[in-house]
Structure 1
Amino acid sequence: MSDVRPVIGFIGVGLMGHGMAKNLVTKGYPLVVMGHRKREPVEHLKSLGAREASSARELAMACDIVHLCVTGSPQVEALMRGPDGLLAGADPAKRAGTIIIDCSTSNPVSTLALAAEAQARGVHFVDAPLSRTPKEAEAGTLDTMVGAAPEVFARIEPVLRCWAGQVVHLGPVSLGHKMKLINNFVAMGYAALYSEAMAIARKAGLSIEQFHAVIGSGRMRSPFYDTFMQWSLNHDENAHRFTISNAHKDMRYLASMAGELGAVNPIQADVKNLFAAMEAAGQGERFVPMLADFVAGINALPPANG
């Protein structure tokens, strides 16, 4: 068996991607990154030994396994298709069986379409969306849920374990993205529930600290609760860096998936609409824990830590 490691490509070295890419290069994988609007993470990765490609096509020509960690399906589709896209650069005659791993939270309908296009080019398209936060990305302890054929998963598992502490292979392509949307519905549902519950508590004469003294020490405490509450308790905006616009996007994707399945989703519709309202109010770039401030405002209350 060859000891030569595959060359890894990475597009999207932002809040999550930088830590993931850092773990790949520091754990011995040759790394090629594509330029990012923020130069600092790119330059840092280059200082660790990564090379930079000027386009997705150029990156695909140089890599055996490519990671995408971007906003959603429109961005993934743009990177995959066209004369400068990944599929144009993935040449089966030069690199057999190139694998493209979409770590974004994408629409499963798009994922299946891209997988078919990739297969026609002799390329494998895999979905491996993420759970947890940039802190775990830097530590290499993210969770990922993977949709891939068994033989493809066997090839990429050692690579995934460079940046993930928990890797769950769910089955064929698209199951990762489907499960990720369900996962995010549970998470954003908690965010909506905590925000509304805190507002009601405050109107009833209870403080955030009193709310936390009970919920934060009981059976309903969770890792999500711990990071979510850091904003309301301590004004820490870095504990849970996931934007309202991204949360709303994910809830739109899940609503679309539910519609395609004929599933009844009244609670999810309410959760989606709450994030839609906050984004429509011009607060899409705020982080999810700040939903508590938005719901407080609806209830004629000041921010909890204002």
Structure 2
Amino acid sequence: MKTFRVSFVGLGVMGSPMAGHLASAGHSVTVYNRTVSRADEWCARHQGQSASTVREAGREQDVVFMCVGDDTDVIAVGTQLLAVMQAGSILVDHTTASAAVARQLHQEAKERGIGFIDAPVSGGQAGAENGQLTVMCGGERDYFEKVEPIMACYARHSQLLGECGSGQLAKMMNQICIAGIVQGLAEALHFGQQAGLDCEQVINVISKGAAQSWQMENRAQTMLKGEYEFGFAVDWMRKDLAIALDEARRNGSTLALTALVDQYYADVQKSGGSRWDTSSLLTRLSKPE
């Protein structure tokens, strides 16, 4: 595969392994992270170099990837990158953010002759580490076709879903689905415990039928053990659901279940579970055996 000069801005639990896969594939990788020690640690593990500023990371690169915190971070970082990126280069945003922010950066990029793809991901930390992420993309097809082979370093599937902002809208749908599924799984486990069933045996049976889901396969056992110190944090899920609920108010859709589960996650936060995995919804209902 042809190799490129790329930068990766944001070396969190997702960004660090994603950038690592790019380096392993032979791309010339420059990284930037607000906490310098993380960039230093990454460079010690992978072939690559670190930039001292966001702007330095954006200069003279074919493609710049970023995976930061929220809308405010996306605007702050994206604006700095677009100010120095060369015409014809491409900025790919893997942050889960609003479609409005994606459209804003797309317009700024277009005025500078720079490509922009909004590309939020699904698959969690394990997916990033194993190179098995799903990437939901919005933007122009020409730019997507240029970056898709590069994203394949850490993605099992990437798909262009429409104009800029479509990737973020698809990620909202993804989080809406997860919220409902996790709540349903939590209630089922609570029901089984109250009924005196061996829930491990029940899950072993119903996971082979129509009730099967990724959450059931990967989270039911840890939920039964009361293990939540891992995975996708409740704080992050509430950020994502807030984006979805805000978009729903704009487009007139009704997200009654999503709004309810969001409040359940608020309960988990109040009980000290801000950094627990999203499967911690069960803690609202009962203490695990």
When normalised by structure 1's length, the TM-score is 0.87
- The one-character-per-residue Cα deviations of 1:60-116 (angstroms, maximum 9, x if unpaired) are 1142211111222121112123xxx212222xxxx3222111111111111111211
Distance between the aligned counterparts of 1:166 and 1:178, measured in 2?
17
Percentage of identical aligned residues: 27
Aligned to 1:143: 134
Aligned to 1:245: 235
Match of 1:65 among 63, 66, 79: 63
Distance between the aligned counterparts of 1:57 and 1:40, measured in 2?
18
Matched, 1:202 2:197: no
Match of 1:265 among 247, 251, 255: 255
Match of 1:19 among 8, 17, 20: 17
Match of 1:55 among 38, 53, 56: 53
Distance between the aligned counterparts of 1:259 and 1:184, measured in 2?
16
Deviation at 1:8, TM superposition (A): 0.8
Aligned to 2:110: 119
Matched, 1:88 2:78: no
Aligned to 1:158: 149
Distance between the aligned counterparts of 2:43 and 2:261, measured in 1?
38
SS of residue matched to 2:188:
helix
Amino acid of the structure 2 residue aligned with 1:31: V
Distance between the aligned counterparts of 1:242 and 1:118, measured in 2?
31
Deviation at 1:236, TM superposition (A): 5.2
Distance between the aligned counterparts of 1:34 and 1:40, measured in 2?
9
Kept in 1, the 8 Å contact 2:33–2:39? The answer is no
Deviation at 1:247, TM superposition (A): 0.7
Aligned to 1:180: 171
Kept in 1, the 8 Å contact 2:179–2:258? The answer is no
Amino acid of the structure 2 residue aligned with 1:89: V
Deviation at 1:234, TM superposition (A): 4.6
Distance between the aligned counterparts of 2:31 and 2:169, measured in 1?
27
Distance between the aligned counterparts of 1:142 and 1:182, measured in 2?
16
Deviation at 1:138, TM superposition (A): 1.7
SS of residue matched to 1:171:
coil
Structure 1 gap ranges (5+):
none
Amino acid of the structure 1 residue aligned with 2:77: L
SS of residue matched to 1:282:
coil
**Root-mean-square deviation over aligned CA pairs:** 2.1
- The one-character-per-residue Cα deviations of 1:179-202 (angstroms, maximum 9, x if unpaired) are 011011101211111112222322
Deviation at 1:36, TM superposition (A): 4.5
Distance between the aligned counterparts of 2:2 and 2:261, measured in 1?
48
Distance between the aligned counterparts of 1:260 and 1:231, measured in 2?
37
When normalised by structure 2's length, the TM-score is 0.92
Kept in 1, the 8 Å contact 2:31–2:39? The answer is no
Runs of 4 or more above 6 Å deviation:
none
CA pair 8-40 structure 1, distance change in 2 beyond 3 A = same
Deviation at 1:215, TM superposition (A): 2.7
Match of 1:79 among 77, 80, 83: 77
Amino acid of the structure 1 residue aligned with 2:58: A
Kept in 1, the 8 Å contact 2:124–2:133? The answer is yes
Equivalent residue pairs, number: 289
CA pair 289-45 structure 1, distance change in 2 beyond 3 A = farther
Deviation at 1:213, TM superposition (A): 3.5
Deviation at 1:23, TM superposition (A): 0.7
